[in-house]
């Protein structure tokens, strides 16, 4: 048992006559490790991209709500009356009348 541990620590299993099997396994495990690391980096990039897009959506939603509230304020009758008063126009004091059109047969 002690001898096997010393052989592993010395690296004799890599230079012995039947070391080709060992090298194949080592290369296979190394390739798997590289694929795993690349996959992890890809997943991390996707997570960061998702977080960035979520922040962008929140900002756009906030801008939309802000624009909608400003539009509602501009559409209010009191705001329109105040803007028209600056230009010399005032709302009518005479109420509108309905005009009914009768078709002739």
For range 19-34, the mean pLDDT: 88
- Tell me, what's the pLDDT at 55? 98
CA distance 37 to 22: 23
Give the residue among 13, 35, 40 at the shortest CA–CA distance from 24: 13
State pLDDT tens for residues 75-103. 998 899 998 999 988 888 898 899 999 88
State pLDDT tens for residues 42-85. 999 999 999 999 999 999 999 999 999 999 999 998 899 998 99
Tally of CA atoms within 13 A in the half-sphere of 102 that contains its CB: 2
pTM value surpassing 0.75:
no
The total of other beta-carbon atoms located within 10 Å of residue 11's CB is: 10
Matching residue, tokens 């802000």: 66
- Tell me, what's the pLDDT at 12? 75
In degrees rounded to 5, what are phi and psi of residue 92? -70, 140
- Tell me, what's the pLDDT at 22? 76
């Amino acid at each position: 048992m002690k001898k096997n541990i010393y052989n592993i620590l010395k690296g004799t299993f890599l230079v012995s006559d039947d070391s080709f099997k060992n090298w194949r396994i080592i290369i296979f495990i190394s390739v798997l490790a590289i694929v795993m690391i690349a996959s992890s980096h890809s997943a991390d990039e996707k997570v960061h991209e998702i977080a960035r897009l979520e922040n962008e959506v929140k900002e756009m939603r906030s801008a939309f709500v802000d624009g909608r509230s400003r539009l509602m304020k501009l559409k209010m009758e009191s705001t329109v009356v105040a803007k028209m008063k600056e230009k010399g126009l005032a709302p009518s004091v005479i109420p509108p009348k309905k005009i009914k059109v009768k078709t002739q047969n």
